[in-house]
Structure 1
Amino acid sequence: SGWNEALITYVMAAASVNNSIPKAVYDSGWARNGAMKNNNTFFGYVLPLGLNIGGPLFFEHYSFLGINPRGLKDNYADYQTQTINHTLINYEYCKANPKQYYGYSSQCWGLTASDTPNNGYNANAPDNDIGVITPTAAISSLPYTPTQSMAALHFFYYKLGDKMWGDYGFYDAFSLQDAWFANSTLAIDQGPAIVMIENYRTSLLWNLFTSCPEVKQGLIKLGFTAPYL
């Protein structure tokens, strides 16, 4: 049930030629008959869907590697607003840094799921903040917050250097508060970052995915509208 990263599952299920789900499954299951709506304001930005203060940023990445949120709407939200405002709330939270973690700033931001200093997993978010920044959070948000995301990318690469950059790109996460830098490189970080950099540059993956007739049919069946449908 929403709001989270599983939107793509419902779209693909509705797109199935032989075993398609009805719209009622989306409305009562995913959208919980409207209970996934939020519409409260955080740091000056209205959040249409999901948890207060937004939850981890992967909510706005995984489904939207292929689904283009620009101009996408249904009965529950404007998804361009959702993706941008969730990201801006995450950015403003890190900039405000209410827990006073060392290093958080307008250049050092981005809360989403990652490894942690104690070798565990944490779904980092404003309401679950343990001082760990995950580079994929800001970088995969380039289509939503290009200026803020590029500033973060420059900080990770030029300021942190080889502490955060390896053979396969940026490492998973770091905490300046704990002087900890992950040595893990996760495909679930690198994939979204690469795809969203290209969507920011050319919309290539968005255009390819949403050009598929099955995808169009799935979105339309669930009640979505968009310029590309």
Structure 2
Amino acid sequence: MYLRSEPRYPPAAEDGDDILLDQVQRASFRYFWEGSHPESGLARDRSGRTADPRNDLVAIGGSGFAFIAILVAVERRWITRDEAKARIGKMLSALERTKRYNGVFPHFINGTDGSTVPFTKLDDGGDLVETSLLFQGLICVRQYFASNDRGEASIRDRINRLWHAVQWNSHIKNTEKVLYWHHSPKFGWARNVPIHGWNEALVTYVLAAASPSYGIDAEIYHEGFAANGAFINGRSYYGVKLPLGPDYGGPLFFAHYSFCGIDPRGLADRYADYWQQNCSHARINYLHSLHNPHGYTGYGSDCWGLTSSHGPRGYVVSSPGLDFGLIAPTAALSSLPYLPEESMRALRRFLALPHGKITGRFGLVDAFSLTSNWFARTYLAIDQGPVVAMIENHRSGLLWKLFMSAPEIRDALRKLGFTSPHLTRETEPNSR
């Protein structure tokens, strides 16, 4: 492997910003490169601080982040372009043999044979949001490998076959004008989770509208996801006005997952300016830790970030409205485009914590609580991925340029009523 001139990890808190960011991105990338499932190359759902899990559990959404991380690694010269193409080919082979449901992937699969691993009893079929996180990454890959080289053309063709097969409109129940998260071949719509209200799934509606064969009409977005404006908030929290979503903004992954590919800069529709939305959401999250209404140990201007993560008693979704005293480094690090000074201050603070607890083989651990002196011994794919992606978007805009250069994505955004600088300028040349 390339990974040459390997730097020390963890870096020192006093290192310069570029050094710190490079080291943190690179360590998180290793989760998807060295810590991937050995047979499929896809992303494990979670992994240990010092060792791989003894199972074959692969996360489909996490694998979307893996594809993105590989592109960043090529650009940063941590791996070669040929190494990336070989790994991506292996991953595509695994996806091609994966059991799908009207082209929709399940939440979890067995990385060895592609069989479905039920997420819950009623969730043993297609998961539209996980599928959209996968294709956010795949479309970035397709746009990146744009040369006439036979291997790159093959990657594009294979991605297009998977992409064209997804029947997004199969996740509309009866005549309802909303997409549903899950559908099971055995239990039908019993899981019963409509994708609406402000959450992490804007990219799901954009991709569903972009589908060349199974696209949705614009009214599904407006009446379903936006509920004709019912997801508008407009109230102020800690003195910051929040355009959309639940009180205090909800978990910070709302501002990260869809925006690894969708560029929020200048993006607007009839409901919100999405740069303002994400900046306000991140600032409210930051100010909550600064005010620290529950008196948790360590919270402050250099220690903040509430989102989904592991906790002392398992997986939890933290937010200012449901605060467990649990800080997830991914929340602040993935908010770097929105709050660069506050995010860098948090990174330096995290690196000043005991290295034997806060860091491991893939960088900063998933979460910690100074109140209970608890540090995770684990990593999550859905937390590691946005760290690589959003730091890179802050540094170079790479993934935003790639995703927004896709013709179907531009057409879908226009169809749904969005405006964006990407819709008025010529297509940017793809990266090499």
The TM-score with structure 1 as length reference comes to: 0.98
Aligned residue identity for 1:103? G
Structure 1 distance, partners of 2:405, 2:217, is 22
Trace 1:111-126 onto structure 2 (pairs within 5 A): 111-118=306-313, 120-126=314-320
Q: Is the aligned partner of 1:181 residue 2:370? A: no
> Residue in 2 aligned with 1:20?
215
Aligned AA (2:328)? T
CA distance in structure 2 between the partners assigned to 1:73 and 1:40 by the alignment: 19
1:151 to partner: Cα distance: 0.5
Match of 2:348 in 1: 154
1:63-74 matches, within 5 Å, as 63-74=258-269
Deviation of 1:116 (Å): 1.0
User: Among residues 40, 43, 53, which one is paired with 2:238 in the alignment?
Assistant: 43
> How many pairs are equivalent?
228
Q: CA deviation at 1:159?
A: 2.9
Over residues 14-59 of structure 1, what are the superposed CA-to-partner deviations in whole Å (9 max), with x where a residue is unaligned? 0011111011000110001100000101111110000011100000
Aligned mates of 2:356, 2:205 — CA distance in 1: 40
- Name stretches of at least 5 consecutive residues in structure 1 with no aligned partner: none
Unaligned runs of 5+ in 2: 1-195, 424-432
Query: What CA distance in whole angstroms lies between the structure 2 residues aligned with 1:122 and 1:35?
Result: 26
Aligned counterpart, 2:163: none
1:7 to 202, 205, 225: 202
- Contact preservation (8 Å) 2:235, 2:241: yes
Counterpart of 1:217 in structure 2 is 411
Given residue 302 of structure 2, which amino acid in structure 1 is its aligned partner? Q
Higher RCO, Cα 8 Å, sep 6+: 1
Which of these two proteins has the greater Rg computed from alpha carbons? 2
Task: In structure 1, give the amino acid aligned to 2:229.
Answer: G
Residue equivalent to 1:133: 327
Instruction: Give the aligned partner of residue 17 of structure 2.
Output: none
Q: Which amino acid aligns with 1:58?
A: F
Could you say which residue in structure 2 is the equivalent of 1:75?
270
Classify the secondary structure of the residue corresponding to 1:37: coil
The one of 256, 271, 278 equivalent to 1:61 is: 256
Secondary structure at the counterpart of residue 68 of structure 1: coil
Q: Which amino acid letter does the alignment assign opposite residue 6 of structure 1?
A: A
Match of 2:126 in 1: none
Query: What residue is the counterpart of 2:386 in the other structure?
Result: 192
Task: Output the amino acid matched with 2:296.
Answer: Y
TM-fit CA distance, 1:186:
1.2
Contact 1:169 1:190 (8 Å CA) reproduced:
no
Using the size of structure 2 for normalisation, the TM-score is 0.52
Q: CA deviation at 1:164?
A: 1.2
Cα distance in 1 for residues equivalent to 2:421 and 2:402: 15
In structure 2, the partner of 1:205 is 399
Hey, what's the Cα distance between the residues in 1 that align with 2:247 and 2:350? 28
Q: How far apart are 1:175 and its partner, in Å?
A: 0.3
Distance 1:21 1:98 in 2: 43
Q: Distance in 2 between matches of 1:222 and 1:8?
A: 12
RMSD over aligned CA atoms reads: 0.8
Q: For residue 420 of structure 2, what is the aligned residue in structure 1?
A: 226
Q: Distance between the aligned counterparts of 2:384 and 2:316, measured in 1?
A: 18
Shift of 1:227: 0.7
**Partner secondary structure for residue 13 of structure 1:** helix
